[in-house]
Amino acid sequence: MSSQCRSLSTGAAHVSHNHSLWTRATVAVVGATVFTYQYNKNNAIVITDCEALPVHGIPGTNKERTFLAVKPDGVQRGLVGDIIARFEKRGYKLVGLKMVWPTLEMAQEHYADLSSKGFYPGLCKFFSSGPIVCMCWEGKDIIKQGRQMLGETQPLKSLPGSIRGDYSIDLGRNICHGSDCPEAAEAELKMWFPEGVNDWTKTVDVHVYE
Residue 174 sits in the site that holds ligand RTP (CB under 6 A):
yes
Residue 123 sits in the site that holds ligand RTP (CB under 6 A):
yes
d(CA 10, CA 29): 13
17 is known as an active-site residue = no
Spatial neighbors of 200 by CB under 8 A, at least 6 apart, are 93, 95
Helix (H) or strand (E) holding 132: strand 132-138
List the one residue from 56, 65, 93, 177 that touches ligand RTP (CB under 6 A).
177
Residue 72 sits in the site that holds ligand RTP (CB under 6 A):
no
**Nearest distance from C-beta of residue 195 to ligand RTP, angstroms:** 23
Residue 121 sits in the site that holds ligand RTP (CB under 6 A):
no
Helix (H) or strand (E) holding 192: helix 182-192
**Nearest distance from C-beta of residue 126 to ligand RTP, angstroms:** 8
List the one residue from 22, 101, 119, 200 that touches ligand RTP (CB under 6 A).
119
What is the β-pairing status of strands 176-178 and 26-30? unpaired
Q: How many other C-beta atoms lie within 10 A of the C-beta of residue 137? A: 29
Site string for ligand RTP, 133-172 (x = CB under 6 A): --------------------x-----------------xx
List the one residue from 82, 109, 141, 180 that touches ligand RTP (CB under 6 A).
180
Could you give the C-alpha distances from 35 to 2, 14, 117, 118, in angstroms and in order?
Answer: 13, 13, 45, 48
d(CA 142, CA 119): 28
User: Catalytic: which of 19, 56, 110, 177?
Assistant: 177
Residues that bind ligand RTP (CB under 6 A): 114, 119, 123, 153, 171-172, 174, 177-178, 180
Q: Which residues are catalytic?
A: 177
